[in-house]
Amino acid sequence: MSHSHARTGSHRRYDVLVRGAGIVGQTLALLLARDRLKVALLQTPRPAGAGPDVRAYAINAAARELLRTVRAWPEDASPATTAGDAPPPVTPVSAMAVHGDTDGQLHFAASEQGAEALTWIVDVPALEQRLAHAVHFQGGIDLVTEAVPAALTVVCEGRRSVTRTELGIEFDTRPYPHKALAARLRCEQAHGGVARQWFSQGEILALLPLEGAQGNSVALVWSLEAAQADAWLTATPEALAQAVQARCGNALGAMQLQGPAQAWPLELARARRWIATTDRGGVALAGDAAHAMHPLAGQGLNVGLADAAELARVLHGREYWRTLGDPRLLRRYERARQAEVNAMGWLTDGLFDLFAQSDGRVQALRNWGLSRVDRLVPLKHWLARRAMGLPH
């Protein structure tokens, strides 16, 4: 029997109201409910006319362990919650190949790190379904359709958060001239569990392996000029597939588009404050409501889940006499996360600027840098461990 249920309004006093039932919001609600807090999870309606989600997330080791903690890792789903003939929802990445403009290359392998995988590519619908199932059976969570009183409100509404705007929290944004184009492709050759990325002609194209280690389906994430991305949305499926095939040097043979492509604008964004105090209680931001970055490092969701983990840790360790909305308590969370998130944002922003340069001298330098890093084993190890969310 489900322990969570929908409410349209209630006089019940909750410990925490989580505004936004996306992946970060649901994960946070599950973490807090496990701590015996009374949680209200405010659902946000899916945009009208939204089609199937073609995105796939790269989940690092830290985020994977977190999702397992709340019993929401898709790979751990029981047979009753998965279709018997469905392809695997999780694909371990055994290696990563990064290609520069010409001969610059950088390779990572899980075996070099003594790890099971560098990262795991997770099908978004499968993860969302698993999280919804976990929330459904977790006691202490009420699904609500309007805001309810709570000692602490956590805003997980995404980068266009209305609540953040109403609170007057400034959200500094740097729009990129690029959009991200996403699609699913069936390839002639199996991907072998390898994630591939090309930095070329000012564009960044990634092919993420799907449907298990032996699969031949990939998720495309292509960062390119906004006008070109919009043009590809109206192109024929054959033309887009052939363009991707050409951009990646025929690495996986002939390609076929599986369903329509999607695109969205890219930006670097940071909230100036992550916490606030109102007459109703404390407020904290998490996930895309607090930050956004370029997807070239595949760390967006990992960073958001780390927000949820840190906030849950801070609340769990609070002094018995502190309220959940105590500004000094929430400040601990803000300090712990801002520095790391800003560092990741600066890294992705710097890489985007570096590879957007068309100057031949800059191209030669960055390709030399890729190959040089490939030969520096300690640095490669540090970079890989950081991306995996593990101690350096």
pLDDT tens readout for residues 5-20: 555 445 568 999 999 9
Percentage of the chain beyond pLDDT 70 is 80
Within a 13 Å sphere around the CA of 356, how many CA atoms are in the beta-carbon half?
14
Q: Pick 1 or 204 by higher pLDDT.
A: 204
**pLDDT tens per residue across span 37-95:** 999 999 876 655 556 678 889 999 999 999 999 999 998 765 545 555 778 999 999 99
**pLDDT: which is higher, 84 or 343:** 343
Q: What is the pLDDT of residue 87?
A: 86
Question: CA angle, corner 109, sides to 108 and 114, nearest 5?
Answer: 125
CA dist., res. 128 & res. 72, Å (int): 9
Half-sphere exposure of 134 (CA within 13 A, CB side): 27
pLDDT digits (tens, 9 = 90+) for 105-161: 778 888 877 888 989 999 888 999 999 999 999 989 999 999 999 999 999 999 999
- Using DSSP's 3-state secondary structure scheme, residue 96 falls into strand
Q: Report CA-CA distances (Å) from 338 to 13, 16, 327, 367.
A: 30, 22, 16, 32
Q: For the chain, what is the mean pLDDT?
A: 85
Q: Is the pLDDT of residue 296 over 80?
A: no
- Which range is most confident: 172-176, 338-342, 377-381, 383-387? 172-176
Q: Residue 72: which residues within 8 A CB-CB, separation 6 or more?
A: 26, 27, 30, 127, 130, 131, 133, 134
Q: How far apart are CA 190 and CA 336, in angstroms?
A: 41
Instruction: Tell me the whole-structure pTM to 2 decimals.
Output: 0.88
Beta bridge partners of 203: 200
3-state secondary structure of 98: strand
| Residue 254 predicted with pLDDT over 60 | yes
Question: Residue 322: what are its φ and ψ, rounded to 5°?
Answer: -90, 140
DSSP state of 192: T
Q: When comparing pLDDT for 222 and 104, which is higher?
A: 222
Q: What is the pLDDT at residue 19?
A: 97
Whole-number percent of the chain with pLDDT over 90: 62
- Confidence (pLDDT) at 130: 95
